[in-house]
C-alpha cells in the first residue's frame, strides 16, 4: 500500500509568521522600558523606607539608653538640675539687688544736689533715668553725681554726647564724667574759699581839723576832743 506523501501529518499546521511595523516595535520597547523603570523605582523606594525605619529604630533605642524613664532618673541628674536652678535664682537675685543699690545711690545723689540748687527740679525735669540707663548707672557711682546731672541738664548737647559714649564705651564716658565732677568740685571749693576770706573795709579817713578863727593854735582841751587823738 502506497503512502500518500502529499498529505500533511495530523497536528502540524503551518501558520504564517506575524510581522510588526516599526511603530509597533517602538511602542513595545517603550512599554517594556517603562515597566523596568517603574520596577526599579519601586525597589529603590522600598530599600530607602527600610533603611529609614532601621535608622529610626536605632535612634529610639539610643535615646532610650541615654534618657532613662522618669522613675529611673539618676541622683546626679537631679542634683545637676537643682544646682542649675539654684544658680539661676541666685544670679537673678544678685542682679536685682545690684540694680536696687544703683537706684538708691542715684536717688541719694539727686537729693543731695537739690540742697545746693534752688532750680534743680526745674533744670532736670526733662531727664528721665529710664531713658538713660547707662548714664544713670554711671552717675550713681560718682560722689557728686547730682551736681553732674544738674550741669549736664543745663547742656543738652553735652548730655547727648556723654550718653552716646556711655552706650559705646562706658569707660570713656566714666572718664568724662569724672573730669566734669572734679571741675564742679574745684569751682565750689574756690567759691567757698573766696567767701571765707572777707576783705576788711578800708580805714575811715581822718576828719579834717577845724579851721579856727583864732591864730590857728588849739588849746589843750580842744586838742583832746580831736577824734584822731582818742585811744
Q: What are phi and psi of 146, to 5 degrees?
A: -65, -40
| DSSP sequence for 36-83 | HHHHHHHHHHHHHHHHHHHHHHHHHHHHHHHS--GGG--HHHHHHHHH
- Residue position matching grid coordinates 570713656: 172
SS3 138: helix
**pLDDT the model gives residue 24:** 66
Predicted TM-score of the model (pTM)? 0.51
Query: Could you tell me the CA-to-CA distances from 7 to 4, 14, 16, 206, 226 in Å, in that order?
Result: 6, 13, 19, 186, 194
Asked if the model's pLDDT at residue 219 lies above 50, the reply is yes
CA distance 98 to 106: 12
For 155-188, write each residue's pLDDT tens digit. Answer: 999 999 999 999 999 999 999 999 999 999 999 8
62 — pLDDT class (breaks 50, 70, 90):
low
Asked if the model's pLDDT at residue 216 lies above 70, the reply is no
Please state which of the ranges 53-62, 96-105, 210-219 shows the lowest mean pLDDT.
210-219
Domain borders along the chain are 24-67, 100-193
Mean pLDDT computed over every residue of the chain: 75
Handedness of CA 129, 131, 137, 141 (dihedral sign): negative
Amino acid at each position: 500500500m502506497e503512502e500518500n506523501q502529499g498529505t500533511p501529518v495530523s497536528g502540524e499546521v503551518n501558520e504564517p509568521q506575524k510581522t510588526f511595523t516599526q511603530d509597533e516595535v517602538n511602542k513595545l520597547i517603550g512599554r517594556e522600558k517603562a515597566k523596568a523603570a517603574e520596577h526599579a523605582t519601586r525597589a529603590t523606594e522600598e530599600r530607602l523606607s527600610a533603611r529609614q525605619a532601621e535608622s529610626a529604630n536605632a535612634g529610639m533605642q539610643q535615646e532610650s539608653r541615654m534618657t532613662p524613664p522618669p522613675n529611673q532618673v539618676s541622683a546626679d541628674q537631679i542634683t545637676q538640675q537643682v544646682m542649675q536652678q539654684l544658680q539661676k535664682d541666685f544670679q537673678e537675685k544678685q542682679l536685682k539687688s545690684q540694680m536696687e543699690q544703683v537706684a538708691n545711690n542715684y536717688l541719694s545723689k539727686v537729693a543731695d544736689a537739690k540742697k545746693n540748687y534752688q532750680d534743680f527740679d526745674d533744670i532736670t525735669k526733662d531727664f528721665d533715668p529710664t531713658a538713660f540707663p547707662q548714664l544713670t548707672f554711671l552717675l550713681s557711682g560718682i560722689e557728686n553725681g547730682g551736681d553732674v546731672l544738674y550741669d549736664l541738664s543745663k547742656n543738652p548737647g553735652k548730655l547727648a554726647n556723654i550718653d552716646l559714649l556711655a552706650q559705646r564705651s562706658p569707660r570713656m564716658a566714666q572718664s568724662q564724667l569724672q573730669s566734669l565732677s572734679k571741675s564742679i568740685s574745684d569751682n565750689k571749693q574756690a567759691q567757698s574759699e573766696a567767701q571765707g576770706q572777707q576783705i576788711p573795709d578800708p580805714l575811715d579817713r581822718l576828719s579834717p581839723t577845724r579851721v579856727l578863727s583864732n591864730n590857728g593854735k588849739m588849746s589843750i582841751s580842744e586838742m583832746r576832743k580831736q577824734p584822731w587823738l582818742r585811744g
